[in-house]
Amino acid sequence: MGQFSKQDSLSLRMLEDSMKTSSSALRDDLTLPGRLQNDSLFTRQLVRSLKITNSFHFPFDSLNTFSRLYSPDSAFRIITWHLQIDEDQVKQRGVIQMRTTDGSLKIFPLTDKSDGIENHDKQIGNHQNWIGAIYYKIILTRYNQNSYYTLIGYDENSIRSNKKLIEVMTFKDEKPVFGGPYFNVPNDEGKPSFVTRFIMEYKKGSGARLTYDDELNIIVKEHLISESNQPQRKWTLIGDGDYEGFTWNSGKWVYIEKIFDQKTPEGKAPIPEPLRNEKGEFIKEKGKKKGNR
C-alpha cells in the first residue's frame, strides 16, 4: 500500500472535509444553479485530491454521498455520483482512477452521454460517451487469460421509474470500454436477444433487487411484473418475489430463468438491503466493505 507524507495526508483529510460539505450541498440544494455550482466545486476538490501522490490508497471513508469501489484486483477504482437536473432528468458523474507503480495520477473522467444515445442496451462506449450509473458492485471474472469487470449500477432515471444495469467493462489499449457481446437474454416475447448491457427499469420506489451472490457466484435479479398488466410501460413494473439471474460461462453472462424453487416472502429476500437509506445516502452492508452493495 502506498505511503503518504505527513503533508499529503493532512492535505487529503482537509480536502475530504471540504468534499463532505460540497457533496452534501450538491445532494440537498433545492435549486439547479446551486446544485450545478456545488457539483463543479466537488469535482475540482476531487481532482485536486486525486493529484496527490498515492491518493489511490486514500479511502475517503467519511463520505457517504457518492460511491467509490475498488476492483477486486486493485487495478483501479471507480467513483460515481449524480447531479439532479430536474424531476425527469438525472446526469451521472464519475471518474476511473488507475493504480500506478509510482503513485502518480492516471484517471479517466466519465462523461454521461446517455441523453444523446439511443438503444442503450445495444451500444458499446468508452469514458467519453458513457451511459452513466452509480455503481455499487464490481465482479471480476476471467476468460482466455483476459480480465472482465462486471459493473452493477443504479440510475434515478425519472420521476416515474428507476433503472439498474449490468455491464461489462474491459480495457483496450489501456483505456476502458463499456459494454460488449456478453449477454443473451429473452426479449418481451421470450425469444433470445443479444444485448451489450442488461438494463432493468421499474416503478419508482418499488425497490426491485439486483445484486451479486458471492456464495452462488451468480447475479441475482428480481423478476418484474406490471401492476396494471401493461408490461411495455416500464414505470408499472414491480418485483413479484421470484428471482432469475445470470451465471458466468465461457466469457458471457448466461441467463437463468429461475434461481430459487419458491417465491421469497416480502422482506425476506436472500440478497442485500437497498442501496440507499431514506435520506438518499449510500448504506454500508453488514460484513461488507463500503461500496459492495
**pLDDT, tens digit, for every residue of 206-247?**
889 999 999 999 999 999 999 999 888 999 999 998 999 999
Give the number of domains in the chain. 2
Instruction: For residue 69, name the pLDDT band (cuts at 50, 70, 90).
Output: very high
Instruction: Kindly state whether residues 106 and 186 are assigned to the same domain.
Output: no
158 and 264 in a single domain? The answer is: yes
Of the ranges 93-102, 153-162, 164-173, 266-275, which one carries the lowest mean pLDDT score? Answer: 266-275
Among 1-5, 188-192, 252-256, the range with the most confident prediction by mean pLDDT is: 252-256
Give the Cα separation of 179 and 163 in Å (integer). 16
Q: Identify the domain boundary among 58, 83, 112.
A: 112
Q: Check whether residue 197 and residue 232 sit in a common domain.
A: yes
User: Which structural domain, as residue segments, surrounds residue 106?
Assistant: 1-112
Say yes or no: 96 and 7 in one domain: yes
Same domain (yes/no): 158, 282? yes
| Per-residue pLDDT at 273 | 44
**Residues 79 and 30 both lie in one domain:** yes
- Do the domain assignments include residue 2? yes
93 falls within a domain: yes
**Residue 156 backbone phi and psi in degrees, to 5:** -75, 80
The overall pTM is greater than 0.95: no
Domain boundary (62, 79, 112) is at 112
Residues 4 and 34 in one domain: yes
Residues 188, 43: one domain? no
> Are 217 and 277 members of one domain?
yes
In a domain, 133, yes or no: yes
23-47 pLDDT per residue, tens: 999 999 999 999 999 999 999 999 9
Does a structural domain hold residue 204? yes
> Does residue 241 sit in the same domain as residue 273?
yes
Q: Is residue 227 part of a domain?
A: yes
Q: Which residue has the cell 475517503?
A: 60
Answer yes or no: do 132 and 100 share one domain. Answer: no
Do 102 and 193 fall within a single domain? Answer: no
Residue 117 lies in a domain: no
Write b or e for each residue in 36-47: b if 16 or more Cβ atoms lie within 10 A of its Cβ, otherwise e: eebbebbbebbe
Question: Would you say residue 119 lies in a domain?
Answer: no
- Is 118 part of a structural domain of the chain? no
Indicate whether 265 pLDDT > 80: no
Among 112, 145, 177, identify where a domain stops.
112
- Taking alpha carbons only, the member of 250, 67, 46, 242 closest to residue 143 is 250
Least Cα distance to 49 among 82, 112, 4 occurs for: 4
